[in-house]
């Protein structure tokens, strides 16, 4: 049940990321043509693109927290023994989870306020629809780090080592990255 929900969430995140990026490219490019050739364009286009950037940011960050791919300062990790490293990773995961829940909680207040206020973001779209990604996103990030702190096995915690920043860690192009993880 839990695994099915997680798989469903992962597909949704990926689909949203690709869709939003595609919409950003298409809309921004259309605006250039429309403005230069016909002197027109969607008045809501700019507002949509800006909100899309926020959504891409939060959803991208949600995906990065699946395997703890966030940017961090990693000066001490190479000096720890394996056992200590697992403990350190669990502790920092708990810290991250608490901070994320704090942000999620505080942005619920913000979204609620804007909803009562009836602010519009662009066109006829209420601002709180755009902002709702903040509490949702940070709650998901918090949950993923909570899992990392308490539920994931030591192997799983260490498995995500070294592929920080993710994408270019497959250095020799054989589909296996520096620490032996196979690309999904």
Partner 1 sequence: MMLLGTLAILAFAFLGAPLFAVVLAAAMLGFYASEIDLAVIGIELYRLTSTPLLVALPLFTFSGYLLSESNTSKRLVDVMQSLVGWLPSGLALVGFVACAVFTALTGASGVTIVALGALLLPALVRSGYSERFGLGLVTASGSLGLLLAPSVPLILYGIVAQQLDVGEPFTIQDLFVAGILPALLMIVLLTLYSLWLHRGGAIPRVAFAWSNLGRALWAARWELPLPFFVLGGIYGGFFAVSEAAAMTALYVLVVEVFLYREISVRRLPSVMVDSMVMVGGILLILGAALAFTNYLVDAEVPQRLFEFTKEHIESPITFLILLNILLLVLGAVLDIFSALVIMVPLLLPMAVGYGIHPVHLGIIFLANMQIGYFTPPIGMNLFIASYRFKKPILELYAACLPFMLVLLVALLIITYVPALSLGPVEWLRGD
**Separation between Cα atoms, residue 43 and residue 53, nearest integer Å:** 17
Q: Which is nearer to partner 1, 95 or 150 (CB)?
A: 95
180 contacts: CB under 8 Å, gap ≥ 6 = none
Q: Could you tell me the sign of the dihedral formed by the alpha carbons of 112, 113, 117, 122, in that order?
A: negative
CA dist., res. 121 & res. 49, Å (int):
11
Residue 38 binding partner 1, by CB under 8 A: no
Q: Find the shortest distance in angstroms from Cβ 129 to partner 1.
A: 12
Site for partner 1 in 109-138 (CB under 8 A): 109-111, 113, 121, 130-131, 134-135
Cβ closest to partner 1, residue 1 vs residue 73: 73
Nearer to partner 1, 51 or 152 (CB): 51
Contact pick of 39, 116, 155, 172 for partner 1 (by CB under 8 A): 172
40-99 residues in contact with partner 1 (CB under 8 A) are: 46, 49-54, 56-65, 68-77, 88-89, 91-92, 95-96, 99
Residue 60 or 126 with smaller CB distance to partner 1: 60
d(CA 22, CA 169) in angstroms, rounded, equals 25
Q: Which residues contact 69 (CB under 8 A, 6 or more apart)?
A: 63, 160, 163, 164, 165, 166
Residues making up the chain, counted from first to last: 184
Tell me which residues in 147-166 interact with partner 1 (CB under 8 A). Answer: 165-166
Q: Which uninterrupted H or E stretch holds 30?
A: helix 2-33
Q: What's the min distance (Å) between Cβ of 2 and partner 1?
A: 23
* Among 7, 12, 23, 25, contact with partner 1 (rule: CB under 8 A): 25
């Amino acid at each position: 049940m839990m695994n099915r929900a997680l798989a469903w969430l992962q597909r949704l995140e990926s689909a949203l990321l690709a869709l939003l990026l595609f919409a950003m490219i298409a809309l921004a490019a259309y605006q250039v043509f429309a403005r230069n050739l016909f002197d027109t364009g969607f008045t809501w286009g700019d507002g949509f693109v800006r909100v899309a950037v926020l959504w891409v940011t939060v959803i991208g960050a949600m995906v990065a927290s699946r395997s703890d791919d966030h940017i961090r300062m990693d000066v001490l990790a190479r000096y720890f023994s394996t056992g200590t490293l697992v403990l350190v990773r669990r502790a920092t995961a708990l810290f991250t989870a608490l901070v994320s829940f704090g942000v999620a909680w505080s942005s619920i207040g913000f979204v609620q306020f804007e909803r009562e206020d009836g602010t519009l973001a662009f066109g006829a779209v209420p601002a709180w629809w755009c902002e709702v990604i903040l509490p949702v996103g940070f709650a998901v990030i918090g949950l993923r780090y909570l899992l990392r702190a308490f539920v994931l096995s030591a192997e799983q915690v260490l498995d995500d080592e070294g592929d920080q920043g993710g994408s270019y860690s497959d250095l020799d192009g054989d589909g296996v990255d520096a620490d032996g993880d196979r690309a999904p």
